[in-house]
Amino acid sequence: MGKTILKCQNLCKKIGKKQILKNVSFEIEEGDILGFIGPNGAGKTTTIKLILGLQKINSGDVIINGFDIKKNFAKAIENVGAIVENPDLYMYLTGYQNLILMKNIYKNVDKNRIDEVIKLVGLENRINDKVSKYSLGMRQRLGIAQAILHKPNILILDEPTNGLDPEGIKDIRELLKKLANNEKMAILISSHNLAELENFCNKICIIKNGCIVEENNITEIKKSNKLISSYIFEVDSAESINKTLEEKNEIIDNTHIRIYVDKADIPNVIKNIFNNNLLVYTIKEDELSLEDAFLKRTGGNIID
């Protein structure tokens, strides 16, 4: 196990008479990319604001790098980078000038670190252009550059790919993977783009009605929410094989069929197919997508 960077313990938040969060607990280790997902109004943004000290915690604890945010806010927050909603940028200044302004907030950030961050986010060729000329994806990368200027070991992002085109999403995905793998940075990312999270998160935390309903690595979450074992068979004729099977099945297309069967029974299925002079080319486990797992776990179809 790696070093725990962020630990939330029994976080509760009440606004007026409404209980927003109820004993929310999860943790992130160095190098983790944790996708924080839930339906509309589940409490994702509220949780992020409590972690960052932007809202008062009613009860529970946020521990960052061993420091309690309520007892030692300055030490807890000093190694945190974050973008909540949209990055704060001065549109009439260049990207480089924006980073110079941000540099003045931190200690021990020199020109070499600015150059290092510019290269890391891939803005070398456009850093001296005004931000007003940047695409949305470039602004997001500049925002991340600002957030990591002081070498934090945890990065918290709220909807970082919102509104981006596929190329912009790919750029952000590769950047976050680089930060986690090369810099050992812990990353907490809230997003509604579940198909994209599936491509680079190693852990998922699902929140519903202010409660954590599941926290695990992404593979286990997909397995635990798959109620029936099934496999995809690539065959010469799905229609012909359908007629020979006793097992429940579903034709996907002319050459692919989903068969609901346990792994131990696959040899018997193959034998039956061969005995009917039909062919099997490949077999792979039918994995649940993250979005399917999310919908099964939350019972909803609205993703914030």
Quick: pLDDT tens for 171-229: 888 889 999 998 899 999 998 777 777 778 889 888 989 999 888 887 776 666 554 67
Interval 109-157: pLDDT, tens: 899 999 999 998 999 999 999 999 999 889 999 999 999 999 999 999 9
| Structure token digits, residue 216 | 């695990």
- How far, in Å, CA of 139 to CA of 134, rounded? 6
Radius of gyration for the alpha carbons in the chain, expressed in angstroms and rounded: 24
- State percent of the chain over pLDDT 90: 50
Closest to 160 in 3D by CA, of 174, 172, 171: 172
Predicted confidence at residue 206, as pLDDT, reads 86
